[in-house]
């Protein structure tokens, strides 16, 4: 079977940076690194990082109290993951008394800055995103209580009436066309709506490259990435929207030859938290079918 791989697949620069930060702090395992929730949404990569004593603590949304060992044989450090955190969470982590390093994706940091500056000027903040996603949880913390999360038109209709200016931003990993549709609808109610397209370039690139796989003749799509990964789930949803049979998998072990019987060309893409070694192993297995 012919395998076509998307031009952009796997780690985005924000994820690469977060991993680099954690590895620098771990110093090859000489120090223990605690990440506040999973550093990235890929359990296989977290397992690899664990070999360097980079440990995930807390929960998915970075909201629980951290139960860290009081005494360690070696020095330890706290690292913020790529999704970012709220100002309140940042204060909590720094108050733990351990060395602190920020691995927040700079693109997410820019979104937080835009929200903060508008909230300080009295704007209501509307965030297009998943209210349960840790990135959104963190971003809401910069809205000073004036933040509202929407995922669809129903959410827009349920927003309170704003008497001040309104700004709309997006979680970095959402669909561009959905953001345009929702922001256009909101602007009908608030003609002076400030619309800031904060969907990151890597997300847009991966979505565009997936469409190219379809145009190049792929009759089935494989999307590789963690089940918790928002951008990976978006890619799988996009592939399905083109009427293509789509498999969202985490590793090569998740695919069976029988599932691909009757297909001659498979397109392969991967979320921004998927390491290269997993993408390569999936492609190699598909080529044997």
- Domain 14-104: which topology? Rossmann fold (3.40.50)
pTM metric for this prediction = 0.90
Given the residues 135, 181, 215, 284, the one annotated as active site: 135
Express each pLDDT in 173-221 by its tens digit: 999 999 999 999 999 999 999 999 999 999 999 999 999 999 999 999 9
Could you state, in order of their start, the residue ranges of all structural domains in the chain? 2-10+202-286, 14-104, 107-195
For domain 107-195, say whether CATH 3.65.10.10 is its number: no
Q: What is the pLDDT of residue 71?
A: 67
Q: Comparing C-alpha atoms, which of 74, 96, 81, 97 is closest to residue 28?
A: 74
Topology match between the domains 2-10+202-286 and 107-195: yes
Express each pLDDT in 44-68 by its tens digit: 899 999 999 999 998 888 889 988 8
Active-site residue, 253 included: no
Q: What is the pLDDT of residue 230?
A: 84
pLDDT band at 74 (very low <50, low <70, confident <90, very high): confident
- Domain 2-10+202-286: which topology? Cobalt-precorrin-4 Transmethylase; domain 1 (3.40.1010)
Q: Output the DSSP codes for 156-202.
A: HHTSPPPSS-EEEEE-TTS-HHHHHHHHHHHHHH-TT-EE-----HH
């Amino acid at each position: 079977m012919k395998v076509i791989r998307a031009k952009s697949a796997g780690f985005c620069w924000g994820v690469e940076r977060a991993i680099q930060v954690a590895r620098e702090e771990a110093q090859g395992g000489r120090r223990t690194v605690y990440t506040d929730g999973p550093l990235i949404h890929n359990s296989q990569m977290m397992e690899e990082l664990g070999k360097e004593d980079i440990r995930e603590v807390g929960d998915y949304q970075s909201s629980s109290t951290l139960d860290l060992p009081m005494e360690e044989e070696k020095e330890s450090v706290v690292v913020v993951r790529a999704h970012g955190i709220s100002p309140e969470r940042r204060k909590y982590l720094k108050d733990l008394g351990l060395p602190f390093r920020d691995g927040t994706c700079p693109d997410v940091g820019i979104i937080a800055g835009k929200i903060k500056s508008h909230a300080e000027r009295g704007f209501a903040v509307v965030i297009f995103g998943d209210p349960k996603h840790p990135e959104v949880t963190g971003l809401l913390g910069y809205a000073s209580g004036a933040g509202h999360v929407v995922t669809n038109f129903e959410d827009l209709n349920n927003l309170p009436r704003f008497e001040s200016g309104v700004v709309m931003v997006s979680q970095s990993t959402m669909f561009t066309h959905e953001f345009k549709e929702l922001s256009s609808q909101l602007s009908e109610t608030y003609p002076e709506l400030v619309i800031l397209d904060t969907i990151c370039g890597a997300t847009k690139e991966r979505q565009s490259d997936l469409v190219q796989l379809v145009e190049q003749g792929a009759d089935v799509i494989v999307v590789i990435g963690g089940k918790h990964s928002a951008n990976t789930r978006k890619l799988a949803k996009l592939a399905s929207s083109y009427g293509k049979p789509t498999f969202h998998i985490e590793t090569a072990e998740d695919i069976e030859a029988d599932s691909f019987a009757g297909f001659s060309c498979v397109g392969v893409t991967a979320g921004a938290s998927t390491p290269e070694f997993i993408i390569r192993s999936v492609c190699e297995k598909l080529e044997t079918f």
